[in-house]
Amino acid sequence: MVRFATLLAGSILATGWATGAIAADPDTPAPGATPMAEAAATGDIVVTARKRAETLLDVPVAVTAISGDALIKRNINSVREAAALSPGLNISSDGAGRAFVSIRGVGVTLVQTVQPGVGLFIDGIYRPNTAYLNNPLLDVERIEVLRGPQGTLYGKNTLGGAINVITRQPSNEFEARGQASYAGPDGSWLISGSVSGPVIEDKLQVRVAASHREQDGFIRNGTIGGDSNRFETTSVNTTVRAAPTEDLTVTLNGYYDYIVGTNVPYARVSGPTDYSRINNFNTLGVTTYHYYGANAKIETPIDAIDTKVTLIGAYDGRTSNAPDTDGDFGPLDAVRQAGRDRLATKTVELRFDTKESDTISTLFGLFYSHETLSTDGFTNIKILGVTSNSTDRRVGDTYAAFGTLFWKPSAAWEVALGLRYDHEKRTATGSLVQTIPTAGGPVTLGGPVDPAQIKSNQVEPRFTLTRHWDQHLMSYASVSRGYRGGGFNAPTAPIRTYRGDSAWTYEVGTKYASRAFTLSGDVFYNDYRHYIGLNSVAPAAGGGLVTVDLNAGHVHGYGAELEAQLRPTSAWTISGSFTYMHSRLIDSSEYTAVTGRTLSSDRLTFQPDWTYNLSSDYVVKVGGDDTLTFSAGVSGKGSRLAATLNQTTPTILKSYALVNGSITYHTGPFEFAVFANNIFNKHYFESYIEKTTLQLAGLPASDLGIIGDLRRYGVRAGFKF
């Protein structure tokens, strides 16, 4: 393995040396330029990938930063949609409260009860629920996507990487923003706005933002009528920044998101090219979600030891209610289900960022989180007259200590060595009560189920070597380990617990940035153990169905990522990225030991071997400072393995490419645009379940599919003062 990494490092460093011959262009950054290009030109754009403010060119991590303005320009309203702009990031969904996310094929999360394998952070605050990836982005400054294990600084559940959403912060400058858009044919509309400014200059600033979004979606119910994947959100976010003294800054934030949507609106289809958008459930399956939380960050320097101290405390909650869902995925009114849950997470983090000397600095910290989950479920097997009520109560505590030593023996070299220790303890209790009909009348059975417990102690190291060849070019090599905690299946499941998974990643990369050209590339190798990427739908104790999560085995993966931006002229910007990723199960004996079955493919569920995006923006002056911007883009995803438990024949979903475009008129603080997404109305599957899953659960056999969004076209208006 060391030899493999050494050879890769040599090849990428040699590539970086050759790239350094490219001359810098004296032009200023183009509108919509990548953060790396802007950072090289102005020094203003920074990221916090290493929990320090650094330019992208100084960060020895494979990281993509997507600006809030770029999100608006591309008509992107969620992190899930933004995934198309980041190499290695793969997100799909089968409902308002469910998102499947991985980076480089690592950290796959198929259901919300599994701990995330890709960490999600809002302004550096950990969010435990991947369903947020579907939620609206509100007043976002940028999204940072960190690829590869980030456990040393960000903790467990970041073995694939981390996504950090950075919101705009208030300042002494008054600012007001607004946006409204409407698109058809599914009645998709959005309105949002924010105001920010000082209450007391230099002492107290406030930002308030709100948005509302609705869309009917493209899936219809053929049994009872109505839209089967409508989506509605309302969001409010407030930040208060106080600086009572020069040495103390306090930032308070609160948020609330209300979501109305549907879950798992699968259509019964005849195969992976049957793009039916009609499902035949006996209910629309409407589910409501409330996300809410508050956090506080205190920052102060200790000048005597040249240290910046940061203390963060946060509370995040989610409640959901699904009062009536179809448990048999079809027109037969056989199984109806209902459920509600409540998730609450409290976190505290304390960091000390110290400059020891001109060549040595350190970052040390402590972390604690307390998580509770309460779930209540009801199943009515109407064709048998059997009902069951279940409860599931889970508590998790995590304690961590972490530190990184940064050594810069010269301006050209940096060595960083980090280590984190995580101790996790999780417990689960629950109950199952069934009512069954008998000749003598209904009989009630069951009660509390045996409690379950998981403990783990994990060490997550990271070593990075960085070489700056000049002010435009750097290269790096790194070795890191990430870990995801194990978990529990529902009390009605035949398998109660599964262990955590982990990944070692070996990576080398290079970055070049000038005003006219930017390039970022890397190659990587993943050794992924006890992969939690497969689940099954099994008959539940007491009747109905239950999702079963389990360890599937070991995965090896390797690949390459490339991002670039070119400015042929000051008015024309071309940007794009490409990812090749070969991840395969090399040993699925864990899966076989638990299920007694084998798998038809060594590929990972929903993971493509390649993805790409390419976009072009051309700006034309139309008088004075007014401009007309012509934008076009295409994003593509390779073939993927569907969710399948078939032992002989894999189901492969076809590759696809989506073309988008817009024309935007800018005049003063206003902009007006016409746009179209999926211009050629490409049909593809967002999610797919092969029929063996239903067969094993004793249900009528049929493949199930959810199509992706079809063509939308509309108008957008916005302002910024």
Name the nearest CA neighbour of 435 among 376, 375, 379: 379
> What pLDDT shows up at residue 124?
84
pLDDT digit string (tens) for 254-277? Answer: 999 999 998 889 999 999 999 999
The residue type found at 231 is F
When pLDDT is averaged across residues 341-350 and rounded to a whole number, the result is 95
Instruction: Say how far apart CA 179 and CA 206 lie, in whole Å.
Output: 20
Provide the pLDDT confidence category of residue 495 given band limits of 50, 70 and 90. confident
When pLDDT is averaged across residues 98-103 and rounded to a whole number, the result is 87
What DSSP state is assigned to residue 171?
-
pLDDT above 60 (res 20): no
> What pLDDT shows up at residue 718?
94
Instruction: Say how far apart CA 619 and CA 662 lie, in whole Å.
Output: 12
Assess contact for 203 and 266: CB atoms under 8 A. no
Name the nearest CA neighbour of 92 among 649, 682, 549, 643: 643
Q: Name beta bridge partners: 27.
A: none
Provide the pLDDT confidence category of residue 161 given band limits of 50, 70 and 90. very high
Provide the pLDDT confidence category of residue 24 given band limits of 50, 70 and 90. very low
pLDDT above 80 (res 542): no
Assess contact for 261 and 93: CB atoms under 8 A. no
Q: Which CB contacts under 8 angstroms, 24+ apart, belong to 575-579? A: 575/34, 575/614, 575/615, 575/616, 576/612, 576/613, 576/614, 576/615, 577/64, 577/85, 577/86, 577/87, 577/612, 577/613, 578/87, 578/610, 578/611, 578/612, 579/87, 579/88, 579/610, 579/611, 579/612
Among 27-31, 192-196, 337-341, the least confident range: 27-31
> What pLDDT shows up at residue 16?
34
> What pLDDT shows up at residue 383?
84
Token match 């012509």: residue? 630
When pLDDT is averaged across residues 294-309 and rounded to a whole number, the result is 95
Provide the pLDDT confidence category of residue 54 given band limits of 50, 70 and 90. confident
Rg of the Cα atoms in the chain: 25
The residue type found at 207 is R
When pLDDT is averaged across residues 246-250 and rounded to a whole number, the result is 94
When pLDDT is averaged across residues 175-199 and rounded to a whole number, the result is 95
The residue type found at 42 is T
> What pLDDT shows up at residue 37?
38
Instruction: Say how far apart CA 215 and CA 458 lie, in whole Å.
Output: 44
Instruction: Say how far apart CA 336 and CA 329 lie, in whole Å.
Output: 10
Provide the pLDDT confidence category of residue 135 given band limits of 50, 70 and 90. confident
pLDDT above 70 (res 89): yes
**596 Ramachandran zone, left/alpha/beta (phi>0; psi -120 to 50):** left
How many helices (H) and strands (E) would you count in the chain? 7, 41
Q: For residues 106 and 491, which has the higher predicted lDDT (pLDDT)? A: 106
Assess contact for 627 and 36: CB atoms under 8 A. no
Distance of CA 105 to the CA centre of its chain: 13
pLDDT above 50 (res 707): yes
pLDDT digit string (tens) for 475-484? Answer: 999 999 999 9
> For residue 116, is the peptide bond before it cis, meaning its omega torsion is within 30 degrees of 0?
no
When pLDDT is averaged across residues 23-30 and rounded to a whole number, the result is 34
Name the nearest CA neighbour of 532 among 483, 580, 499: 499
When pLDDT is averaged across residues 422-450 and rounded to a whole number, the result is 91
Assess contact for 114 and 130: CB atoms under 8 A. no
* Percent of the chain at pLDDT exceeding 70: 92
φ and ψ of 509, to 5 deg: -155, 170
φ and ψ of 654, to 5 deg: -70, 155
Which residues, including other chains, have CB under 8 Å from residue 217's CB and lie 6 or more apart?
A: 186, 227, 228, 229, 230, 231, 709
Tokens coding 101: 């996310």
**CA distance readout (Å), 196 to 170, 174, 207, 651:** 5, 6, 4, 51
Q: For residues 23 and 581, which has the higher predicted lDDT (pLDDT)? A: 581
pLDDT digit string (tens) for 367-393? Answer: 999 999 999 999 898 888 889 898 999
The residue type found at 303 is D
pLDDT digit string (tens) for 634-653? Answer: 999 999 999 999 999 999 99
Q: For residues 112 and 577, which has the higher predicted lDDT (pLDDT)? A: 577
Q: Name beta bridge partners: 261.
A: 287
Name the nearest CA neighbour of 51 among 308, 425, 318, 426: 308
Instruction: Say how far apart CA 118 and CA 315 lie, in whole Å.
Output: 20
Provide the pLDDT confidence category of residue 99 given band limits of 50, 70 and 90. confident
What DSSP state is assigned to residue 409?
S
Provide the pLDDT confidence category of residue 40 given band limits of 50, 70 and 90. very low
pLDDT above 50 (res 612): yes
When pLDDT is averaged across residues 69-80 and rounded to a whole number, the result is 86
Instruction: Say how far apart CA 26 and CA 452 lie, in whole Å.
Output: 63
Instruction: Say how far apart CA 286 and CA 280 lie, in whole Å.
Output: 15
pLDDT digit string (tens) for 551-598? Answer: 999 999 999 999 999 999 999 999 999 999 999 999 999 988 888 889
pLDDT above 80 (res 8): no
- Which helix (H) or strand (E) element contains residue 592? helix 589-595
Provide the pLDDT confidence category of residue 528 given band limits of 50, 70 and 90. very high
- Which helix (H) or strand (E) element contains residue 4? helix 2-19
Spell 508-542 as b/e; 16+ CB within 10 A means b: bbbbbbbbbbbbbbbbbbbbbbbbbbbbbbbbbbb
170 HSE (CA, 13 A, CB side): 29
Instruction: Say how far apart CA 119 and CA 163 lie, in whole Å.
Output: 6
pLDDT above 70 (res 2): no
Name the nearest CA neighbour of 449 among 418, 420, 483, 488: 488
When pLDDT is averaged across residues 438-463 and rounded to a whole number, the result is 92
Among 228-232, 540-544, 598-602, the least confident range: 540-544
Mean pLDDT, the chain, integer: 88
Instruction: Say how far apart CA 281 and CA 329 lie, in whole Å.
Output: 6
pLDDT above 50 (res 710): yes
pLDDT digit string (tens) for 653-677? Answer: 999 999 999 999 999 999 999 999 9
Are β-strands 248-262 and 386-407 bridged in parallel, bridged antiparallel, or unpaired?
unpaired
What DSSP state is assigned to residue 56?
G
